[in-house]
Structure 1
Amino acid sequence: MTIKNTISEIWYTRCPVPTPVGLAVQLGFLEEAFAKEGVKLNSIIDSKDRAIRSSHFDHHLNYSFRHGGNVPPIRARSEGNPTRLVGITWTDEFQAIITLPGSGIKTTKDLVGRRFGIARRPPGIVDFMAATALKGLVSALSLEGLSHKQVEIVDIALTDSVLDGREGPQLYGLRNRQAYGAEIAALLRGEVDAIYVKGTGGIAVANLIAAHTVVEFGFHPDPRIRINSGSPRVLTVDERLAEDRPDLVARLIETLHRASDWAEAHPDDVRRFVAREVGASEEVVASANGPDLHKHLGLGLEPELVAAIGHYKDFLYEWGFLERDFDINAWVDRRPWDGIDVRAVA
């Protein structure tokens, strides 16, 4: 029996955000492609087993792949977890610093000396939302030549892990809790003066409280300003899958290109599919991701994309979110791309 015949199932996961993996799953492309190889796909994030779901964050499962926010896989790599970076997707999204209309904070310069709230989860899984908010704050302040040292950073303590709260009456039948609930509560109680929000969740809560946008930079022309946990997002595979079945990794990449090509030809359907993926209305998706979302669901490993991940990796290390530093280029595995003619993918 050959190695090729020994893999009967693969674990996969994706974040509830716009990704070609999410599209490929909804379209049935991934299931179809892997079924032809005799491989069953199992969803990590939908598992009832907490130990399996944790692989969404630490990438510990053999024969698995992940597409989504970059902080957990970067952290996993820094801890020595044997993974490979095989693709990058850059889909810009709404990013902003918001406050209440009566706060007196009109512009970024008004943040000096004010309280900026950052939700902090208990130790364990890397606190990717705290990292995201910090990078958002640093990016926003840099536009005015300001430093984070000129702002009072206030921790908003959370008691639950990101793995908790996946079920129960507090969800009211939904898949996930509304993003930024704790931050908005702290803002309304007057415990903080401003917070960072992003994506469809950020748009929704800003609309809910009629917030004042201090600064919005999710579509800023300088990519270093936009770089954050979701910009860009990464496709990673574990080492055993990369080494034992590089053909399946290549098939994965080909299938995602098929989904990306489909997206470019179906802008209205993309908005509908992404709305289902993120649990938001199509109106919110259009506002959060812009009118050209369908053109930004591709996959690549171009040097500028790798450099963007390296830039954010350096930020995470500087701010203490990583176990140790590592060489971003040593993480990249371009072998699955060899021989793939993306133009021929149909």
Structure 2
Amino acid sequence: MSVSAKPPLRILLCAPRGFCAGVVRAIDAVEEALRKFGAPVYVRHEIVHNRYVVEGLKRKGAIFVDELSEIPDTDAPVIFSAHGVPKSVPEEAEARRFHAIDATCPLVTKVHREAEIHHRRGRLVILIGHQGHPEVVGTMGQLPPGAVVLIETAEEVARLEIPPGTPLAFVTQTTLSVDDTRQVVEALKARFPEIVAPHKEDICYATTNRQEAVKRVAPQVDAMIVVGSPNSSNSQRLREVAERAGCRRAALVLRAEEIDWALFGAIGSLGITAGASAPEILVEEIIDAFAARYTVAVETVSTADESVFFPLPRALRPDAA
């Protein structure tokens, strides 16, 4: 195909997109541990939900496990992922005398502390989140069994069986759809007017900002690509937000080789964003794939400036003993 025969394609690039401060901190924690202590470094659960990132860290000497029981007795660092872990995990690490480093995102830790405070004050905690997601498992694991009730949808609020007069509070997973969560919160407040809400919304700034950018771009384009992994909650939510905002063709794509050209073959405009755990190199790879087939013109649509920074876990900072 000659250059002149390539059809034009307008690409609207969402900003902010890609890595958030918590993801940068978690990846940096693994890389700094490898630099400081050498390989191997064990990581419980995928440090962030992105296969490209995880495979890159494996090549550098990180060993990923689902549970601490898979780790032999070792002096090597053991890092907890950005999603947070139940209290039983650091307890097990201490019992086995592991050199544990907690890379939980500080915004997830904030939710953990909120839940603990509510529990100490005698409130039953309702957690809005997705069953089985590591962040939800970690948050529920901060409190004794039965102290947290998990719900996912507004419809479930009506089915909650809670004794009258029970003091209630709610917290949420940090990577949810802002609009979905608003509906659940409204249903909770309507049924339980006395329920205690978070001081500040639990859905993190990065999730909110990325969804806002998609809402701006999605109605303007023929198709939308969200760069991210299928097991990434915030990436899946971005795809849903794009569809709801009026984009009929929205797909979650990890790498350029996964692009379904039957879906994206005859378009005049394309929106691209990336989940909070997707590196910019994968966005560039996908733009390059379209540039091979189209004459592309790339514009950035920015809805917020992000300047959030989280320092490394204390054990990895230069002044650590």
User: What TM-score results when the alignment is normalised by the length of structure 1?
Assistant: 0.33
User: What TM-score results when the alignment is normalised by the length of structure 2?
Assistant: 0.34
Higher-helix-fraction structure: 1
